[in-house]
Amino acid sequence: MQKITTFLWFDTRAEEAANFYVSVFGGDSRVLDVTRYGPAGPGENGSVMTVSFRLADQEYTALNGGPQFPFTEAISLSVDCADQAEVDRLWDALSEGGETGQCGWLKDRYGLSWQIVPSGLSEALSDPDPAKAERAMKAMLGMQKLDIQALRDA
């Protein structure tokens, strides 16, 4: 078991969300365990309480805790993508039913914020030539889904 696990609070859709994320990331991603509320509650007896799952070697726990604590952009999951094809695939899958934002950020259908980041972004933004770095930053600020070639070309 990893020492630190990201814990995600959902209203009632923890299992649905975990299964969705596992399907999006594929590979070795999988649901690890599902626990259910007992007669003591606070959820309905037999309903899903937590779902433990793995995405790309990182474990998460999703809780059906009720509507008290919705997600905000104050926390997001950042995904380092190997290439533009991976950016495109994840952007399309995760933003479906959600909303897109600026600079590679999106909210998925469950309200969880993601940053879909192509490898090479930090190099473009920290180019030794300050003018190139500034052009890359301006280009990024004008994008929703990040386009690494357009950032390099800036």
Question: Are both 59 and 93 inside the same structural domain?
Answer: no
Share of the chain above pLDDT 70, in %: 100
Question: Are both 85 and 136 inside the same structural domain?
Answer: yes
Range of the domain at 33: 1-69
> Is residue 101 pLDDT above 90, yes or no?
yes
Token reading at 90: 């994840």
Give the pTM.
Answer: 0.92
> Is residue 76 pLDDT above 80, yes or no?
yes
Question: Are both 43 and 115 inside the same structural domain?
Answer: no
Peptide bond into 42 cis (omega under 30): yes
d(CA 45, CA 107): 31
Strand blocks (E) in 56-154: 58-64, 76-81, 99-100, 105-107, 113-118
Are the beta carbons of 131 and 137 closer than 8 angstroms? Answer: no
Please compute the mean of the pLDDT values over residues 31-57 and round it to a whole number.
95
Instruction: Tally the domains of the chain.
Output: 2
- pLDDT bin (cut points 50, 70, 90) of residue 71 is very high
Give the residue among 51, 52, 119 at the shortest CA–CA distance from 85.
119
Q: Residue 150: give its domain's CATH number.
A: 3.10.180.10
Supply the pLDDT for residue 120.
87
Are the beta carbons of 36 and 47 closer than 8 angstroms? Answer: yes
CA dihedral over 30, 55, 17, 104, signed as positive or negative: negative
Question: Are both 31 and 58 inside the same structural domain?
Answer: yes
* Residue pLDDT, tens place only, 129-146: 999 999 999 999 999 999
Give the residue among 5, 10, 79, 88 at the shortest CA–CA distance from 49.
10
Give the residue among 113, 83, 153 at the shortest CA–CA distance from 8.
113
> Is residue 91 pLDDT above 90, yes or no?
yes
